[in-house]
Structure 1
């Protein structure tokens, strides 16, 4: 599905968020991600630029290119962690799709919603290899844009009969629970005791901008799968050293997750984690080059830093649906 160009493109298409949301169904996007990880592609290390804005807060500018023989995609992202004080999303992004043969721009699309959905679906894709087949309880930590998609994405690969939501802002968490219940997910409840929820969960999916660990390793039961999304700088992390030491660790890519995220960079720097102990990456899982979960008691951990090729998979799914 990724190799066929349209016969002719008269003008670059501008694709709005509403169209993207309508096209990117969770099961279809998970399969598109699986297919592109099984294909041949090029993905340079993304560019990170940290800058201090006019208010004295450090924001992050990220440039993420990737390409196949026929398509080039470039995402431009700004992560502004203080945007919640302005009732704005923390992430704003644009995506540009080009013909790799001619360089002709094919489409530009809002990438904030695209990013949230592909992030959640990549986590679910990893969980399809790493979560226990009989996982029944899902804990979602966080209430932001990515967290809003986690239940739907994870439910595409496992059947949960109990879902907990925990957020530092209880009103935000309650609002997310209400929205999910209105969408038909009646088995979702808000919890205010994170320790108890962690102890009950089979899968824990964290999507926060926390600077300090929220999840303590001593709370985690045998057989749990940890899905860590939020940490995107070398200074931030969502779980502590004990969780890292107890887990079999998988990443979206070694080049990104080991260096760009405090989740792994901090324990590597302190000698807690040996980089050579990382079990594998998402491409190796999808291609069957490595084994995922090895037992029902193993604690698995997937650290997602976000990959440009994931954006290209999502953008192509959108673009090829509208041309």
Structure 2
């Protein structure tokens, strides 16, 4: 069976289409889908992930390897394969590069968080981490709000400038800035963290400086990873997650449960979309949306791609 490349999928299927597919999935009445927590196998700093799901007429599984040290080798952090099967017969239907699916669905989840939780007049976006997910959240941020200025920070400054150059070519109507993480936070209405850091990447600021901001946490997917500072986790007015699994998979949310009470009742993306929820008085609140992903999101994305272009 031919393996469909990441470049081909990204060339055919947009971030906006992926967001619409996930949103439609939750707006429709869902029956008979299975989405277990993904299997983590840790090998030092590397992680192998197995992510099966069943929905509609399909079964899918994503096999992924995450190697944080690849950034120092100028390689992608994530590699893997995504396979879609006929649910009844278990015959394979579609095989593709998992990086494209992960990029699209993760960006789409963050984008849906922005759509429902960020202030409507948000004009500035800050991206911490310039890898695959930094780019996907640039795409979803621009698809969700009328962003005029984007602030970029990466620990390796050259990579931030490379990201800026690529972004300027792709989105000439937007102004891009490479800046310090402190200035990024102060100037951004929406802040996205897309690193694999084990230490918080957000600075300590006066509490008033966080008001009116949405923090979208993306990178922390293991218990030993934490991108969002204790200050933000303890003082945020509202915390949301993409799926309940985030509460025990991510070091950010594990730490948040130690700092707060009743976080187990945090709304997930399903409830946000089905209730068409918008935070009240958003300009005076600091809000966190934590995303770790789940296998059902991968299945919804690859199903939409397969049915639109390959069936």
* 1:263 maps to 2:252: yes
Q: Is the 8 A contact 1:46 1:64 kept in 2?
A: yes
Q: Cα distance, 1:23 vs. partner? A: 2.0
| Partner residue, 2:170 | 183
Following superposition, the deviation at residue 214 of structure 1 comes to 1.0
Q: Does 1:129 align with 2:116?
A: yes
1:114-148 per-position Cα deviation (integer Å, ceiling 9, x unaligned): 21121111100111100000111111111101111
Q: 1:49 aligns with which of 41, 54, 75?
A: 41
Partner in structure 1 of residue 11 of structure 2: 22
**How do 1:1-323 and structure 2 match up within 5 A?**
12=1, 14-39=3-28, 40=30, 41-52=33-44, 58-216=45-203, 218=205, 220-247=209-236, 248-254=238-244, 256-268=245-257, 271-276=258-263, 278-288=265-275, 291-295=277-281, 296-320=283-307, 321-323=309-311
* Superimposed CA distance per residue, residues 134-183 of structure 1 (whole angstroms, 9 cap, x where no aligned partner): 11111111110111122221111110111111111111000001001011
CA contact (8 A) 2:181 2:203 kept: no
- Contact 2:250-2:292 within 8 A present in 1 as well: yes
Give unpaired runs (5+ residues) of structure 2: none
Contact 1:210/1:231 (8 A) holds in 2: yes
8 Å CA contact retained: 1:142, 1:207:
yes
Instruction: Summarize the Cα distance change of 1:139–1:103 in structure 2 as closer, same or farther, 3 Å threshold.
Output: same
Alignment RMSD:
1.6
Superposed CA offset, 1:36-71 (max 9, x none): 23342221111111123xxxxx21111111111311
- TM-score between the two structures when normalised by the length of structure 2: 0.92
Instruction: Supply the distance in 2 between the matched residues of 1:214 and 1:128 (Cα, whole angstroms).
Output: 24
Question: Which structure has more helix as a fraction of its residues?
Answer: 2
Q: Normalized against structure 1, the TM-score is what?
A: 0.89
Distance in 1 of aligned mates of 2:193 and 2:163: 15
> Secondary structure at 2:76's aligned position in 1?
coil
Residues paired across the two proteins, number? 303
CA distance in 2, matches of 1:184, 1:26: 14
Q: Deviations over 1:211-266 (max 9, x none)?
A: 11111352543110110001111011111111012221000112x21111110112
Post-superposition offset of 1:35:
1.2
For residues 88 and 225 of structure 2, what CA distance do their matches in structure 1 show? 40
Residue 113 of structure 1, CA deviation: 1.8
